[in-house]
Homo-oligomer: A and B are copies of this chain.
Amino acid sequence: MRYSNATNYALHTMVHLMLQPGDSSMGVQELAEMQQLSPTYLSKILTKLAKAGLIESTPGAKGGYKISRKKHEISFLDVIHATEGDTSLFDCSIHHEGCLIENVMRQAEENMKAELKSKLLIHIANEAVSKQK
């Protein structure tokens, strides 16, 4: 029971893109090198992020990825949702009416999600910058 590596890569990539100045794009090549992983694999993750509207992609020469216009609203939960999908941590296939076990598990997951939703990536990016100084 662990978050996938893809989520880790996605989070790092998002922070990288946030720190990129102005309207400049980065290619998957460059992004993959920074994280020491295969460009083709990262490409799939980036496509997911793009479909979720968290980043914007432009094909063709001088193309690449840049952070979405919603830059200041993107939460950890948004990224995780994009990579992990929207499945529940606990999902009993039976679904008895008013199941007490599910209630507890769902509530617990909600507590986690609430935190992940309240934390914005932009905060991490800003802190990272001020640390470097």
Q: Which A residues form the contact surface with B (CB < 8 A)? A: 1-4, 7-8, 11-12, 15, 76, 84, 87-92, 100-101, 104-105, 107-109, 111-116, 119, 124, 127-128
Contact = CB atoms under 8 A, between A and B. Distances in A.
A64 to B, nearest CB: 23
Instruction: Say whether chain A's binding surface is mostly helix, strand, loop, or mixed.
Output: helix
Given A101-B11, A101-B124, A104-B76, A3 B115 contact: no
A90 to B, nearest CB: 5
A108 B11 CA distance: 15
Given A1-B1, A76-B105, A100-B124, 14 more contacts: A1-B84, A2-B87, A3-B105, A7-B90, A76-B104, A100-B128, A104-B115, A104-B116, A107-B115, A108-B113, A108-B115, A108-B119, A111-B114, A112-B112
A127 B101 CA distance: 11
B92 A8 contact: yes
Contacts of A112: 108-109, 111-112
